[in-house]
Structure 1
């Protein structure tokens, strides 16, 4: 098991599943842009009212949309993707043109051959970062923290914390070393998989290594940033981050199946996650305690909840106009298909137009969730294989939506 975990992704960089600690994403020069928005197999179904139904929450639903036909095409594409990538399973959600489709393919438990269901729970890795950034922006709106505050105002033990701003933590321009690139972290995590990590331990690991660059002088995706971000919002609010997430984001967005693992009681129904060793599946669902991911990647959710979250994050339900502008102030981010990173949010080009969301990878799982504002299309894909390519499936489902 340790050989599988050591060479596969832990908490992936936005935009592409990369090796441990996002090591293949070299630090890049900082290029800030200030434009906001303007700049089992066959188990799918559409809508809560049954296959082929229009989304009842979409007042602009087109009356001539063939939701039944779209459902069949999306399910076929998902089935084909699971087969092509040799995945144990995957679940997906698509919302567009008045149709809402939830689908699944493959298995949630390979040993007992349990079919995947559209509303199954997955670890979603770095998608957690969008939730934590939303919290920070809410506190910013209330004057409880400033994005330009030094992190040393809230958190002790951060190297050059007096020079690093909260904003630089949230958009990965701090230069802080990624603790998931530390051999010491992996040795300890694999020697004692039940060890409960404290944020201070994870920050100390990063502090033992030299920074990538001076604060604000480049971009380097680092999970350390979001461990610190969790500590910042706790210090600014005086509340535990798990309780804050539930009260300020999860419940207001009506996310019925989402929780921060390790900070809240687990909800039954988490699918099994897998790695591969010598061509064989290895169950890595609980290979490391979720505290090792914390506010950088410990969230558990469903395709439906994540699709709802990004829509509400971007439509002004959760954040006001000023905070949305901060959220979508981009720095150049050379992360695969991602070409910009805001505050816990990725931007990428697609055939549906500019998309906003995030990708994630954690032991046993990969994830990708994006919303294209101009085309009003949302796609979320969750995969229970840590070497799976959820983002590729997002693109394949996008192709279905643009077919004549």
Structure 2
């Protein structure tokens, strides 16, 4: 849900709407470890944990510590807040519902949520998922980072409250004409899931994805402030030092960023998504499809280049205290799941370099 993103730091590569990837490759353990060590040393983070999978071989690497004033290492496969990687799970559920004929991606949102949005006869579920609806981003209107965030750390937001905050402003543009990343849109996506199923997005993600895949470390909390299981601590920088934000109300992120997971579970999710266990071929094709006004983003799926000419797909995620990356080559042969626990906002260039090294060696 962070205002800045990995995609903003690099160019985006697509060839039409087709994802292109080079031959599988991955970093050696020593190169990957060096990139992680550099990020921890120079990137504003306390610690980092990484799972890199290449051609069936898994590497679990880490650096740094779990707490600023401690000496306990970051858990090798600990749990962490995944921020906007949550959007992949939310989009997967909506695409499952589309495959079941329970929602139509190009039907106006007013069919399911009448009266919620302006220009409700023009905004579709597809636009919501692809960030082309023009819905203002509420994280530009309230403090979601730095010392100012501490006022909202334990605040219990409702989805309607978040949407109301965003819609105090008019739409950013005519629906469907531009791309603008909107965390608000994914809060609306969570509301769409409830409108169609009668259940919260949290319960549908759990029922449809976490339980069938055996994702024991993955949860979608609404107000619970803790992180289950072993975990590192996240911080934000203040004028007096650093404030621990490990315990926070995830309701500020909702269906766009509230989930908790682990590197092992994110790797399993990526494998299942590419392996056809979560979406029918037609719906997975929709997820990967980019359009002229949104060349870098499908439906809950980012498309990013690497320095060695490969394309990787997945998502980044930022929430106070944590930054996450979950990416794979389109053929699924190389996968990266990574989390850093922060003491201040991570140096995004170093974070991207770590991701790039994973796929380019």
Q: TM-score normalised to the size of structure 1?
A: 0.78
How far did residue 278 of structure 1 move?
A: 5.2
For 1:244 and 1:199, how far apart are their aligned partners in 2?
Answer: 16
1:303 counterpart = 2:263: yes
Out of 128, 139, 148, the residue aligned to residue 106 of structure 2 is: 148
Is this contact kept in 1: 2:43–2:351, CA < 8 A?
no
Tell me the residue number matched to 1:178: 137
C-alpha distance after superposition, 1:109-137 (max 9, x if no partner): 12333210221111111110010000000
Q: 2: CA distance between counterparts of 1:160 and 1:107?
A: 49
Contact 1:78/1:397, CA 8 A, preserved across alignment? no
Alpha carbons 1:135, 1:248 under 8 Å: kept: yes
Aligned twin of 2:301: 345
Q: How far apart are 1:76 and its partner, in Å?
A: 3.4
Deviation at 1:15, TM superposition (A): 2.9
Match of 1:167 in 2: 126
Matches within 5 A, 1:310-321: 310-321=270-281
Mapped partners of 2:82, 2:119: distance in 1: 31
Q: Which residue of 2 aligns with 1:79?
A: 37
Distance in 2 between the 1:260 and 1:312 partners? 19
Q: Secondary structure at the match of 1:381?
A: strand
Superposition deviation, residue 190 in structure 1: 4.8
Is this contact kept in 2: 1:189–1:195, CA < 8 A? no
Structure 1: runs of 5 or more not aligned = 1-9, 19-31, 40-61
The 5 Å alignment of 1:103-114 reads: 103-114=61-72
Distance 1:184-1:402 versus aligned 2 partners, 3 A rule: closer
Correspondence list, 1:1-400, <5 A: 11-12=2-3, 14-16=5-7, 35-37=17-19, 70-155=28-113, 156-183=115-142, 190-191=150-151, 193-262=153-222, 267-277=228-238, 280-286=241-247, 288-331=248-291, 340-350=296-306, 351=308, 353-374=310-331, 376-385=333-342, 386-389=344-347, 392-393=350-351, 395-396=353-354, 398-399=356-357
Q: Aligned partners of 1:116, 1:144: CA distance in 2, in Å? A: 43
Greater CA radius of gyration, 1 or 2? Answer: 1
* Alignment coverage as a number of residue pairs: 350
Contact 1:381 1:393 in 2 (8 A): no
User: Whole-Å Cα distance in 2 between the matches of residues 99 and 390 of structure 1?
Assistant: 27
CA distance in 1, matches of 2:66, 2:198: 38
- Residues 303, 311 of structure 2: 8 Å contact kept: yes
Unaligned segments of structure 2, at least 5 residues? none
